[in-house]
Amino acid sequence: MSQHTPLHTGWRLTAALGSPVPENVAPATVPATVPGCVHTDLLAAGLIDDPYLDDNETHLAWIGRAGWVYETAFDWSPGTDTGTDLVCEGLDTVATITVNDVEAGRTSNMHVAHRFPVRHLLREGENRLAVRFDSAYGYAERTRDFLGDRPNAYPEPFGFIRKNACNFGWDWGPTLVTAGIWRPIGLHEWTARLARVRPLVTVEDGVGKVRVHVIADGGTAGPLTVAARIAGQRVEVPVADGEFTVELGVPEPELWWPRGYGAQPLYELDVELLGADGTVHDTWSRRVGFRTVRLDTAPDEHGRRYTVEINGRPIWVRGVNWIPDDVFVAGITRERLAGRFAQAVDANVNFLRVWGGGIYESEDFYELADELGLLVGQDFLFACAAYPEEEPIAGHVEAEARDNVVRLASHPSLVLWTGNNENIWGHEDWGWKDELGERTWGAGYYFETLPSIVEELDPARPYWPGSPWSGSDDLHPNDPAHGNMHIWDVWNTHDYTHYLTYTPRFAAEFGYQAPPAYATLRRALSDETLAPDSPGMAHHQKAADGDLKLKRGLDAHFGEPADFDDWHWLTQLNQARALSLGISHFRSLRPVCTGTIMWQLNDCWPVTSWAAIDGDGRRKPLWYALRDVYADRLLTLRERDGVPVLFALNDSGAEWHGPVEVTRLSFDGRVLAKHSATLDAEAHGSARVDLPAELTTPDYDRAELLLAEADGRRAWWFFGRDRDLAYPEADFEAVAEPMTGGYAVRVTARSLLRDLTLFPDRVDPAATVDKALVTLLPGESVTFTVSGPEGLDAGAFTAAPVLRCVNDTRR
């Protein structure tokens, strides 16, 4: 039986001789965590300040320009095995590995696992293992100088090294260029081994087909057999040279479905490498699911579709974009991912798009998605830049694509490979053509290399060249009528009401900024007085003209905030409103529009950004809006031909049939007109209800609203922007009482209260609340359930700036 021995203990870290590091760091040898990275080791040793706080990031650029050496010692005794390999699942990035001072191998790709034969370098007793990391900057800049510069969205050389691109800074991320052993490392001792196992799992004519493609290294073990087992079926085949296949069939398997469409049954697939005497030399196992996946991109009367189909059923994608959940990716634990996925599921998300400027996500990530029924689209790692297609980059691209397609192909949650993020669009619209001349920019990867690798290694899963991409060279790559598109004129140049002008087939990226939670800001910033332009706030705003764009949104809808508390509340509210408007509009366009993937679910540090969940894991008001607008059943009022129209959008598996009542009311609660109708929305369908003129034509648009109610759900319509509406002064009674595990905060409205929201983190950083953005008519009540520590001042939950509504901003 082969043996894996982790080598994760006893590591020490030093700066490489001659590296440009501070005087206190140069002679230091500090304990190193493996898996881990240089930044977190230096932080644990007290040699640097926390890079996430204030502007500390700017004082740590030297780390990415230095060389670093990790060293450890381990005991080893020779056994009967014929092979001993050092297996490195992830080295970040430009590494030289030595065993007992003899070079065992070199790497310069963060995204590939490596295996180095080291038996000839080992000796009985103590052995020394060292990994030297050269500067990622130095490598990238030398490659750039050799191949010629290429345009990108940021003045950093990330396109010239196969590394987590957003380490070099993004419009939501810090510039913290890491190095380290970021995934497990260990010794593998073997006599014969399973060199590669690549199962392809499909459903054909009601039978679950498992084709296990195997490459075995027999060493000196003699005749070998591979046995594969699943669902009570077991097949053995003799080992052959090269790649060979073991085929199994499971009659009428339980199908794996995305959440909301069915269950997620998973089957254990076990593979063994057996000797002639039955000895088990090596094993491999993974849980797999039976399902089919198709991306329907056929032309139709509206343009070109972009519809994800699972088991033959079209899925309306309620998605979010995913970035690495921490700059220091080695520290992203399964527990942390489980918490973030729970937040996604609670927000009614069914799709995660793994964005192309980060990493190929971990086994933990994909196993959790398999279990929860979260669909995943994985970008190949190219983002916002022209990438050279010459060596050494080309060889690295092919190696990492092969490595990660094989690693991830067995996961039922993975439903789509995408060639890049915005590079085809960038080449078309961002002035790259003139700057590039005849130089390569990545087209060969997206249209030749990557699709051929997917076709060879993962033929049952669709590939799409880019996000966005319209499906043809004859079309603009970001054409709303064809394929998938990104919408960034909203935020960059237009008010969020501009979403209403779009009819996308599939909106794969769009978003709006807001600051993180108040408690997150107070933890991360030492600004004595917080202001939009205070030093810490300014440093944690990475978007070009970000604060000006936030101000443009506030000016359009609310006017000038009175103070920082108003600014913080209203920018977060504007973000929630923007995405709620966009998504509800796009959902109302079904079946022409087949999905949305908002930018973005999560953050990697405390920052003003487009995220619904901030860098400390706190939910912004946007998260609550997302939960509402991504609900299985959504009632929404949307404008058609200048008047509001009611839509019932039904992504549940049952028909939505029943009465709906729409009322025109004055802000003081008086009924001005009423209309009753019947909803009839089929499962995974929609219904439209046109409204009579007495509802859609207000007498006094500044002080009237529409309310639609059906099946316990509500939809609101106001006839103008907030700054133009005659909101009454907020009048309510609020009572907060301790309860088991927290506090109950009951608010009874005496006036209209719009988007009532409670911010418990302002009372205690650990406190959370169950709901937000609640609109009440006079006489109505709501109870907010706050989870938090005992002994807090309950009265603090009942007044501003903890309890807010839009009425607070009336001028």
Q: How many residues does the chain have?
A: 811
Q: Tell me what pLDDT residue 473 has.
A: 93
Overall fold of domain 192-288? Immunoglobulin-like (2.60.40)
**CA pair distance 358, 321, nearest whole angstrom:** 11
In the beta sheet, which residues pair with residue 705? 665, 718
pTM of the model: 0.97
Domain 634-724 has CATH 3.40.50.300: no
pLDDT at 810: 73
- Res 582: pLDDT: 98
- The DSSP code for 475 is S
Q: Which CATH superfamily is domain 317-349+480-630 in?
A: Glycosidases (3.20.20.80)
| Backbone φ, ψ for residue 577 (5° rounding) | -65, -45
**What are 382-425's pLDDT values in tens digits?**
999 999 999 999 999 999 999 999 999 999 999 999 999 999 99
Burial class (CB in 10 A: 0-12, 13-18, 19+), 492: exposed
Distance CA 544, CA 172 (A): 10
Report the percent of the chain where pLDDT is more than 90.
98
- CA quadruple 256, 259, 260, 264: dihedral sign: positive
pLDDT for 413 equals: 98
Cα separation, 248 vs 238, whole angstroms: 15
SS (H, E, C) 488-531: CHHHHCECHHHHHHCCCCCEEEECCCECCCHHHHHHHCCCCCCC
Long-range contacts of 16-24 (CB under 8 A, 24+ apart): 16/66, 16/67, 16/68, 16/69, 16/132, 16/133, 16/134, 18/67, 19/65, 19/66, 19/67, 19/68, 19/135, 20/62, 20/65, 20/66, 21/62, 21/63, 21/66, 22/62
3 state SS for 278-314? CCEEEEEEEEECECCEEEECCEECCEECCEEEECCEE
For residues 231 and 288, the answer to whether their CB atoms sit within 8 Å is no
For 615, how many CA atoms within 13 A lie in the half-sphere containing its CB?
Answer: 24
Q: What is the pLDDT of residue 612?
A: 98
pLDDT digits over 292-329, tens only?
999 999 999 999 999 999 999 999 999 999 999 999 99
Q: What is the DSSP letter of 191?
A: S
Q: Supply φ then ψ for residue 444, to 5 degrees.
A: -60, -35
* Residue in 579, 518, 520 with CA at minimum distance from that of residue 758: 518
**Fold exhibited by the domain 732-809:** Immunoglobulin-like (2.60.40)
Query: pLDDT-derived band of residue 44, with 50, 70 and 90 as boundaries?
Result: very high
Residue 266 CA: distances (Å) to CA of 258, 314, 370, 410, 511: 13, 22, 8, 11, 34
Name the region of 126 (left: φ>0; alpha: ψ -120 to 50; beta: rest): beta
Going by their DSSP bridges, the two strands 102-108 and 224-230 should be labelled as unpaired
Q: Give 642's DSSP letter.
A: T
Q: How far apart are CA 713 and CA 658, in angstroms?
A: 12
C-alpha torsion sign, points 531, 537, 538, 541: negative
For domain 3-188, say whether CATH 1.10.599.10 is its number: no
The position carrying tokens 């056929």 is: 298
**Cα separation of 693 and 785, whole Å?**
40
Q: What is the mean pLDDT of residues 730-747?
A: 97
Nearest to 415 by CA among 356, 446, 364, 370: 370
Model confidence at 79, pLDDT cuts 50, 70, 90, reads: confident
Q: If you average pLDDT over every residue of the chain, what do you get?
A: 97
* pLDDT per position as a tens digit, 776-792: 999 999 999 999 999 99
Which residues touch 395 (CB under 8 Å, ≥6 apart)? none
Rounded CA-CA distance 637/275 in Å is 68
For Cα atoms 575, 420, 58, give the angle at the middle one, nearest 5 degrees.
60
pLDDT tens for residues 608-627?
A: 999 999 999 999 999 999 99
* Same-fold call for 192-288 versus 317-349+480-630: no
Q: What sections of 562-643 are H helices per DSSP? A: 564-588, 621-629
Residue 650 is encoded by which pair of tokens?
């039904």
Domain ranges of the chain: 3-188, 192-288, 317-349+480-630, 360-463, 634-724, 732-809
Q: Across the chain, how many H-helices and E-strands are there?
A: 16, 46
